């Protein structure tokens, strides 16, 4: 419990940023956008249909900028003071830590192992922690790796706490050589720990043995990733722990039952199983959720989150979760970091940040469907604790119902021995357990979207809860990013599809009946991210309009002095976004690469989210959750164990190259490039024949400049025309795009 004495310093402070100048810039750009729309309306009759298309596209862009302005109006974040926690809190609460993995090929077990080891070694009493790993692939190799990791943890955890190691993922910590020159105790322990980790890595990466000879692996015999029974294994139990620095927290492996004819709801289903299993075993009031590639980079991360939950000056009942920004230790991540820094803080200044699916501490009571109204109308929660309602909402397991009651009444009541709960834990993992219950509807992680994080987030805010945003330095968590190419496009498609799915559920922010507890600006903020997929259509058309106008001989942009509106808008947007990148320490090249990839993913992967949703609504097919491939970067750490944000380009000349394959994601970009190159070539040939403007329009030079700008934004595709292998555009994609480009040119010229 926290000491509520007002004389003691606060455990955190809320920092609200004053951005009067940036507000003026946002409003100026908004005014310019409305001026452009007004000009098009007044001169619509004097121009052909291309102005109608341009007006519709620019109307959508104006709407998006209006949403962005509303989001970024009052940015904020919370700054915790974990050093004050021991003074204010008599007993720290328990925390259950969840790690999810689903495919040992796309998510290497050594990556999972390092994430788990970093969590087991955080600066928090070991008897207050429990780590649960959900393996949706039911992989024997993953379980073997985790079992070996539990043995190494008995060396790694004491080493980290003895020497206060900051980077607690061994694969990152041991990238640098030992600095100590003398034969000290630390250097001997360092060498010994590194040797043990290398042995662990060797075992994990070369896991070939006679598995049938070990009874512990019998549960994995004759199992398939989509067809197996529930498996619950207590890998390590911290029996009689008192929080000593040499202790290792509880460590449990779980894999829920899967059958071919049952819906499993992907990651959301796995998370709900983790909530039930942990509720039966340790029932901690708070839960940490991280993906298998996201390791704890800050040893005090749990204590930082507890500062928010334990502070008495802010009503702890109303803070549902604490979200840390997702930051990365490899390349291709600059855009996401910048987006979180400005848009994430914008959310935090309204009702709180969006739950990002990883790096988040959540309150168990909230995940059990508790709303702010429940607390205000019935502090004893007597209406929620009725036996019939609990069984209807949470299932027929008596042990599960009892753990829910304890959690709602703030009683952790963990089991004396985890093994005793194994049978009950297996029962709540059956495929049919959630049938006719509230799991995935109002309880736990919500279903019906491949972006279960955003869907669950709006569900929590809809019940009146708030959330907190902490962005510490050094970053609390670090993870890897898929390479810029097929894997990144696949991930973007899943995000865009999942966000669009939410618009067709009852959690739609425009639905006032189900979202009445969400603040108006928070609804607009959710609308901004949910409509990512819809942006692909106006972006695609706007990338083609300059080329069409050059080929057709019509004008896209205003004439005379009014062209200044467009020039000013483009210039201000470039300078604004450039400032956002450079103010966070990123280079001009990073800014350009992010602007380029934004156009590529919007017109490519996001575009395919629309047919995905249409086919789902028509009942033709369902959306599919495809696990993103994850890789281990070999980037060395900077001095002071500070993670670098970029790969060393000198060591890998191909690190910044864009990768291609034969998927349809790269067809729109190639088509856009070829069309604009054709328009530029046609305009140049016309200039050579005649000194008059091409097409007889005074604005055609500006239209040609628009084509050049599009080519610059799609420069990776231009380079891909001359590269070979995975860095070159496949001939099949190029031939399809060329055929479409010919049709477009013929249509533009003859129309």
Show me where the domains of the chain are located: 61-71+527-628+654-750, 84-481
Q: Is 423 annotated as a binding residue?
A: no
- Residue 185: burial class (beta carbons within 10 Å; 0-12, 13-18, 19+): exposed
Mean pLDDT within 368-396: 83
Q: Using an 8 Å Cβ cutoff, are 560 and 570 in contact?
A: no
**More confident of the two residues 695 and 321:** 321
Say whether pLDDT at 2 is over 70: no
- CA distances to 68, 204, 472, 519, 716 from 18, rounded to whole Å, are 17, 50, 19, 21, 38
Separation between Cα atoms, residue 497 and residue 515, nearest integer Å:
21
Mean pLDDT within 722-737: 94
- CA distances to 26, 86, 239, 283, 461 from 410, rounded to whole Å, are 45, 21, 23, 10, 21
Please, what CATH class does the domain formed by 84-481 belong to? alpha beta
164: DSSP letter: T
The predicted structure's pLDDT at residue 69: 96
**More confident of the two residues 531 and 261:** 531
Mean pLDDT within 110-137: 96
User: Angle CA(176)–CA(182)–CA(187) in degrees, nearest 5?
Assistant: 50
Q: Take residue 545 and report the two structure tokens written for it.
A: 């309009």
Q: Is 291 annotated as a binding residue?
A: yes
- Minimum mean pLDDT range among 96-105, 184-193, 318-327, 514-523: 514-523
Which residues 6+ apart lie within 8 Å of 529 measured at CB? 354, 454, 499
Residue located via tokens 């530029």 = 680
Its pTM stands at 0.92
Element holding 42 (H helix, E strand): helix 20-42
Separation between Cα atoms, residue 480 and residue 23, nearest integer Å:
34
What confidence tens digit (pLDDT) does each residue in 540-560 have? 999 999 999 999 888 888 877
Helix (H, G, I), strand (E, B) or coil at 252: strand
Q: Using an 8 Å Cβ cutoff, are 321 and 466 in contact?
A: no
Position 316 confidence tier, pLDDT thresholds 50, 70, 90: low
- Mean per-residue pLDDT over the chain, rounded: 88
Length of the chain: 751
The most distant pair of C-alpha atoms in the chain lies apart, rounded to whole Å, by 90
Residue located via tokens 């790690």 = 99
**More confident of the two residues 595 and 9:** 595
Q: Please say if 103 is a catalytic residue.
A: no
- CA 626, distance to chain mean position in Å, is 14
The predicted structure's pLDDT at residue 395: 93
The predicted structure's pLDDT at residue 639: 42
3-state secondary structure labels for all residues of 81-122: CHHHHHHHECCCCCEEEEEEECCCCCCCHHHHHHHHHHHHCC
The predicted structure's pLDDT at residue 268: 96
247 backbone φψ class: left, alpha, beta (φ>0; ψ -120 to 50) = beta
Q: With pLDDT > 90 as the criterion, what percentage of the chain qualifies?
A: 66
Separation between Cα atoms, residue 198 and residue 33, nearest integer Å:
58
Beta bridge partners of 13: 79
Which residues 6+ apart lie within 8 Å of 57 measured at CB? 538, 541, 542, 545
- Residue 285: burial class (beta carbons within 10 Å; 0-12, 13-18, 19+): middle
- Minimum mean pLDDT range among 3-7, 158-162, 315-319, 657-661: 3-7
User: Angle CA(430)–CA(359)–CA(292) in degrees, nearest 5?
Assistant: 55
Say whether pLDDT at 3 is over 50: yes
Mean pLDDT within 482-506: 89
Say whether pLDDT at 742 is over 70: yes
227 backbone φψ class: left, alpha, beta (φ>0; ψ -120 to 50) = beta
Residue located via tokens 């607390």 = 375
**Helical pair 486-502 and 520-530, crossing angle rounded to 10 deg:** 140
Q: Take residue 442 and report the two structure tokens written for it.
A: 């109002």
Mean pLDDT within 638-646: 42
Q: With pLDDT > 70 as the criterion, what percentage of the chain qualifies?
A: 89
What confidence tens digit (pLDDT) does each residue in 408-432 have? 988 866 666 888 888 899 999 999 9
Which residues 6+ apart lie within 8 Å of 168 measured at CB? 117, 118, 121, 122, 156, 160, 295, 296, 297, 299
**Helical pair 667-689 and 731-750, crossing angle rounded to 10 deg:** 50
Spot the catalytic one: 136, 293, 374, 448: 136
254: DSSP letter: E
Position 686 confidence tier, pLDDT thresholds 50, 70, 90: confident
Helix (H, G, I), strand (E, B) or coil at 214: coil
Beta bridge partners of 287: 96, 362
Q: Is the peptide bond before 665 cis (omega within 30 degrees of 0)?
A: no
Q: Is 267 annotated as a binding residue?
A: yes
User: Angle CA(721)–CA(725)–CA(728) in degrees, nearest 5?
Assistant: 20
Say whether pLDDT at 4 is over 60: no
Q: Please say if 189 is a catalytic residue.
A: no
Mean pLDDT within 78-92: 87
Q: Take residue 340 and report the two structure tokens written for it.
A: 């979180």
- CA distances to 221, 485, 594, 709 from 716, rounded to whole Å, are 47, 10, 12, 13
The predicted structure's pLDDT at residue 420: 85
Residue located via tokens 């207590």 = 234
Which is nearest to 147 in space by CA: 52, 233, 258?
A: 233
Numbers of helices and strands, H then E, in the chain: 27, 13
Q: Where are the beta strands (DSSP E) in 259-386?
A: 286-291, 295-296, 319-323, 327-328, 360-363
Say whether pLDDT at 274 is over 90: yes
Separation between Cα atoms, residue 418 and residue 228, nearest integer Å:
23
Position 622 confidence tier, pLDDT thresholds 50, 70, 90: confident
Position 388 confidence tier, pLDDT thresholds 50, 70, 90: confident
Position 244 confidence tier, pLDDT thresholds 50, 70, 90: confident
What confidence tens digit (pLDDT) does each residue in 142-157 have? 999 999 999 999 999 9
Rounded to the nearest 10 degrees, how much is the dihedral formed by the CA atoms of 630, 634, 640, 644?
-60
Say whether pLDDT at 646 is over 50: no
Beta bridge partners of 255: 231
- CA distances to 50, 279, 571 from 546, rounded to whole Å, are 10, 59, 18
The predicted structure's pLDDT at residue 34: 96
Position 313 confidence tier, pLDDT thresholds 50, 70, 90: very low
The predicted structure's pLDDT at residue 713: 96
419: DSSP letter: G
Spot the catalytic one: 393, 453, 612, 703: 453
Q: Is 215 annotated as a binding residue?
A: no
Q: Using an 8 Å Cβ cutoff, are 285 and 430 in contact?
A: no
Mean pLDDT within 24-43: 95
- CA distances to 1, 262, 351, 546, 562 from 44, rounded to whole Å, are 67, 55, 41, 17, 15
Most confident range (mean pLDDT) of 163-167, 203-207, 300-304 is 300-304
Position 642 confidence tier, pLDDT thresholds 50, 70, 90: very low
Q: Where are the beta strands (DSSP E) in 175-283?
A: 231-236, 250-255
Q: Take residue 551 and report the two structure tokens written for it.
A: 């080929």
């Amino acid at each position: 419990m926290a000491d509520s004495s007002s004389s003691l310093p606060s455990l955190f402070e809320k920092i609200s940023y004053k951005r009067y100048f940036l507000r003026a810039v946002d409003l100026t750009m908004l005014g310019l956008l409305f001026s452009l729309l007004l000009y098009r309306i007044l001169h619509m009759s004097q121009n052909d249909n291309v102005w109608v298309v341009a007006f519709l596209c620019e109307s959508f862009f104006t709407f998006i900028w209006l949403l962005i302005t509303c989001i970024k109006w009052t940015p904020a974040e919370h700054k915790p003071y974990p050093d004050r926690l021991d003074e204010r809190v008599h007993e720290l609460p328990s925390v259950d830590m969840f790690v999810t993995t689903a495919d040992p090929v796309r998510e290497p077990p050594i990556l999972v192992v390092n994430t788990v080891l970093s969590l087991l070694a955080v600066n928090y009493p070991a008897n207050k922690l429990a780590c649960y790993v959900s393996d949706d692939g039911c992989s024997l190799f993953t379980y073997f790796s985790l079992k070996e990791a539990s043995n190494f943890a008995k060396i790694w955890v004491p080493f980290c706490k003895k020497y206060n190691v900051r980077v607690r993922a061994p694969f990152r910590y041991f990238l640098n050589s030992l600095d100590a020159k003398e034969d000290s105790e630390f250097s001997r322990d360092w060498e010994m720990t590194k040797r043990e980790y290398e042995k662990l890595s060797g075992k994990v990466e070369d896991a070939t043995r006679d598995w049938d000879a070990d009874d512990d692996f019998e549960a994995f015999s004759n199992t398939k990733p989509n067809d197996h029974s529930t498996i619950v294994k207590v890998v390590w139990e911290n029996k009689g722990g008192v929080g000593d620095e040499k202790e290792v927290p509880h460590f449990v492996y779980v894999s829920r039952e899967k059958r071919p004819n049952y819906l499993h709801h992907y990651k959301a289903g796995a998370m709900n199983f983790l909530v039930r299993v942990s509720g039966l075993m340790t029932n901690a009031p708070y839960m940490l959720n991280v993906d298998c590639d996201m390791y704890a980079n800050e040893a005090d991360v749990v204590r930082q989150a507890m500062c928010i939950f334990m502070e008495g000056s802010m009503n702890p009942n109303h803070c549902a979760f604490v979200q840390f920004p997702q930051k990365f230790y490899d390349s291709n991540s600059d855009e996401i970091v910048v987006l979180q820094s400005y848009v994430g803080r914008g959310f935090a200044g309204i009702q709180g940040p969006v739950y990002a699916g990883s790096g988040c501490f959540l309150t168990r009571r909230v995940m059990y469907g508790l709303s702010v109204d429940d607390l205000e109308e019935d502090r004893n929660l007597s209406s929620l604790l009725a036996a019939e309602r609990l069984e209807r909402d949470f299932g027929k397991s008596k042990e599960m119902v009892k753990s829910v009651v304890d959690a709602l009444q703030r009683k952790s009541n963990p089991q004396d021995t985890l093994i005793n709960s194994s049978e009950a834990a297996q029962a709540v993992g059956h495929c049919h357990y959630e049938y006719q219950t509230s799991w995935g509807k109002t309880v736990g992680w919500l279903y019906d979207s491949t972006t279960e994080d955003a869907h669950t987030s709006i569900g929590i805010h809809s019940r009146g809860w708030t959330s907190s945003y902490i962005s510490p330095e050094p970053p609390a968590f670090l993870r890897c990013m898929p390479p810029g190419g097929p894997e990144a496009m696949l991930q973007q498609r899943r995000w865009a599809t999942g966000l669009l799915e939410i618009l067709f559920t009852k959690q739609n922010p425009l639905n006032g009946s189900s979202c009445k507890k969400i603040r108006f600006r928070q609804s607009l903020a959710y609308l901004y991210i949910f409509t990512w997929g819809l942006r692909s259509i106006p972006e695609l058309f706007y990338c083609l309009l300059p080329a069409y106008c050059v080929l057709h001989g019509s004008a896209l942009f205003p004439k005379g002095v009014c062209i200044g509106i467009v020039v000013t808008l483009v210039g201000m947007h470039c300078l604004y976004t450039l400032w956002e990148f450079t103010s966070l320490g990123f280079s001009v090249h990073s800014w350009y690469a992010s602007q380029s990839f934004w156009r590529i993913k919007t017109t490519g992967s996001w575009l395919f989210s629309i047919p995905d949703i249409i086919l789902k609504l028509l009942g033709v097919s369902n959306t599919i959750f495809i696990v993103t491939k994850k890789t281990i970067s070999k980037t060395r750490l900077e001095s002071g164990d500070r993670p670098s944000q970029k790969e060393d380009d000198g060591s890998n000349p191909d690190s910044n190259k864009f990768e291609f394959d034969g998927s349809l994601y790269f067809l729109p970009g190639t088509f856009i490039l070829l069309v604009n190159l054709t328009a530029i070539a046609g305009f140049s040939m016309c200039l050579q024949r005649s000194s008059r403007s091409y097409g007889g329009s005074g604005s055609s030079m500006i239209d040609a400049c628009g084509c050049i700008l599009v080519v610059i934004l799609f420069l990776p595709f231009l380079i891909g025309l001359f590269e070979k292998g995975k860095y070159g555009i496949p001939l099949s994609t190029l031939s399809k795009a060329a055929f479409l480009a010919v049709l477009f040119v013929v249509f533009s010229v003859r129309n």
